[in-house]
Amino acid sequence: MSGRPTRFGLTRPTETEIAAGGFSTPWDAPMIPPFPFRFRNAEILTLYWRTDPDAIAFLLPPPLEPLGDVACVHIYRMNDPDWLGPYGEANVMVGARLPGVAEGAFSPWLVLSSDAGVAHGREIHGQPKKLGTPAIEMRGDLIVGTVERNGIDVITGTMPYKQQPAEAADLKPFFDFGTNINLKAVDHIDGRPAIRQLTSRALTDVTVHEAWSGPCTVDLRGNAQLPVSRLPVLEPLRAFFWRADFTLVAGEIIHDYLEGGA
């Protein structure tokens, strides 16, 4: 097979190009963006709460270990990302480490309003993304974040509107959520396991334009397809509202279950 211009102004991919990194289907209108791609003017509501440490341990795939008893959710208004266009996202995280290898935050659930974002997260990072509607609203003197799926607001979080200025260094008081750890699981078409990995990626070129802190409320509702209530709110801790630019780059494999380790 060789590259050959078509009447549509495209070039048919070669076998070498198909086998290369960054290739996505459908080849004439790819779903998955290649790295790197930039997110500009993202607005984020980050909510921390104390939860049951046994619940965290239950959700972590071995050999990951928990870092404590705190969970968080980031509810994003992605205003201007390359490739994907504006959309909403929510990432529930708990502190985790792979002893001697990596430390950061594991994501048991993610929700997006973008089909391309769902596909990219699942295919590339192994993130457990599902379609839903995360949103941030300013309701008078209150910032309200919601995460809806199946007609149910499974997460509702609030904080006061811009009362206490914060610094970028304040945003990670419990664990480094900038390093995201995920469980990637992909099968071959015949049912054999193709990929069973723990992956890690870190946001780069992060510029925080503003940050605010305050007390928070976090309410979780049951949903069998998005069971965030498995991390019960024992004590709401702190919230941050911040606005930032960052770049999503390629990550690394930190543990390969099929190869006997990292």
9 occurs within a structural domain = no
CA distance 190 to 55: 34
The active-site residue out of 129, 130, 162, 184 is 129
User: In which band, very low, low, confident or very high, does the pLDDT at 64 lie, cut at 50, 70 and 90?
Assistant: very high
76 occurs within a structural domain = yes
* Mean pLDDT for the chain overall: 95
Q: What is the rounded average pLDDT of the residues 129-144? A: 98
Q: What would the pLDDT profile of 151-164 be if each residue is shown by its tens digit?
A: 999 999 999 999 99
Whether the per-residue pLDDT at 10 is higher than 90: the answer is no
User: In which band, very low, low, confident or very high, does the pLDDT at 7 lie, cut at 50, 70 and 90?
Assistant: low
Portion of the chain with pLDDT greater than 70, in percent: 97
24 occurs within a structural domain = no
CA distance 220 to 154: 5
6 occurs within a structural domain = no
- 185-199: string of b/e by CB count within 10 Å (b at 16+)? eeeeeeeeeeebbbb
Give the CATH number of the domain where residue 168 resides: 2.40.400.10
User: Residue 214's pLDDT is what?
Assistant: 98
167 occurs within a structural domain = yes
User: Residue 77's pLDDT is what?
Assistant: 98
Q: Which residue segment(s) compose the domain that 151 sits in?
A: 37-181+203-245
11 occurs within a structural domain = no
User: Residue 9's pLDDT is what?
Assistant: 81
13 occurs within a structural domain = no
User: What is the number of structural domains in the chain?
Assistant: 1
User: Residue 1's pLDDT is what?
Assistant: 41
User: Residue 89's pLDDT is what?
Assistant: 98
Q: What is the rounded average pLDDT of the residues 46-72? A: 98
Please report which helix (H) or strand (E) contains residue 166, including its range: none
> Would residue 129 show up in a list of annotated catalytic residues for this protein?
yes
User: Residue 262's pLDDT is what?
Assistant: 52
CA distance 114 to 101: 32
101 occurs within a structural domain = yes
